[in-house]
Structure 1
């Protein structure tokens, strides 16, 4: 188990220059937007506009903060992301634009390079005392502060921090309140 503290997240402009991203983790280490196998990041969306196009990349996003984010998709379809809603998966090749619904938004993004890796994202709420066991290798990204216990040690976790877990590793929520996490599993492509 390893904790990715928010203070250590790499901050960078979007590929299209129209927003800011906090990179939680990427593989291989030191890779950029043209060379990663996978990349986990938090995007700050301050204004309406186009998404960056990532050819050959599969993406999933989920809203972390804000009233909502509308995604205008190909074929004149629209999907709305909400604070407690399910993650949305789509090919990075798509031309998409977004509209904030009621002010700026923050969302969690996982991107995997097609043919190298696959991913899955799930939103979970852990009750006080509940234990989470990773179903596979991945990251638990916290959308609320929490105190967790793992391997007999307690750790204070701030919002937007993450814990890297191997399959079957676990932690327990020791806070007196529920903790919201998004678990992102990443696997080599078959």
Structure 2
């Protein structure tokens, strides 16, 4: 990664889930060019149109944030959950059996996945980001947003993102809030 990259939503291509039960479009993946079996981290937008199981990803930790609609989940272990926009991200292991059922039409989710042995992730909504220890920070706009860093300004449309590597993360002023995924190397 180098610097700050603007990742426009209109440049993404949807592809079927690994299990064929929905579609996803990658927001960012590391290393660049990696696939489902060799990424260290991946951020994607999934569209869930009908009930069914999530794909399993052994050795991967996942964070799921609902963007649109209402989603009922059955999770092996913790049980049932209903997610709505504005709820905190749901964390679960990629090996966990999860079944999703959208209510009242298709839903969209932001999905952050990290290889457990190499990375960890934090996901939060914020209006101010300060330099920290993350290897990379992904800022994801859920609505039209302006991100300012010193003399630079980035105007983001809904579902656009900024990918910022550690050496380029200065204090950011953000209006309105974005979803920030901080990605940490654990090796």
Scaled by the length of structure 2, what TM-score is found? 0.88
2:145–2:178 contact (8 Å) kept in structure 1: no
2:151 is matched with 152
1:11-50 Cα offsets, whole Å, 9 max, x none, are 2211111111110111111111011111000111111111
User: Greater CA deviation, 3-12 or 36-45?
Assistant: 3-12
State the shift of 1:93 in Å: 0.1
Instruction: Work out whether 1:41 is the aligned partner of 2:38.
Output: no
1:50-88 Cα offsets, whole Å, 9 max, x none, are 10011111000001111x111101147111211010000
* RMSD of aligned residue pairs (Cα, Å): 1.7
Gaps in structure 2 of 5+ consecutive residues: none
* Partner Cα distance (1:149, 1:75) in 2: 42
Instruction: Work out whether 1:143 is the aligned partner of 2:146.
Output: no
Instruction: Work out whether 1:181 is the aligned partner of 2:178.
Output: yes
* Partner Cα distance (2:183, 2:99) in 1: 26
Using a 3 Å threshold, how does the CA distance of structure 1 residues 47 and 138 change in structure 2: closer, same or farther?
A: same
2:72 to 42, 66, 70: 70
Gaps in structure 1 of 5+ consecutive residues: none
DSSP-derived class of the 2:73 partner: strand
Give the 5 Å matches for 1:44-59: 44-59=47-62
Instruction: Work out whether 1:28 is the aligned partner of 2:31.
Output: yes
DSSP-derived class of the 1:16 partner: coil
1:134–1:166 contact (8 Å) kept in structure 2: no
* Partner Cα distance (2:120, 2:78) in 1: 27
State the shift of 1:9 in Å: 2.5
Instruction: Work out whether 1:171 is the aligned partner of 2:172.
Output: yes
1:115-145 Cα offsets, whole Å, 9 max, x none, are 0111111123x3xxxx433543310111111
1:125-178 Cα offsets, whole Å, 9 max, x none, are x3xxxx4335433101111112333341332211111111244423323xxxx5
Aligned length: 180
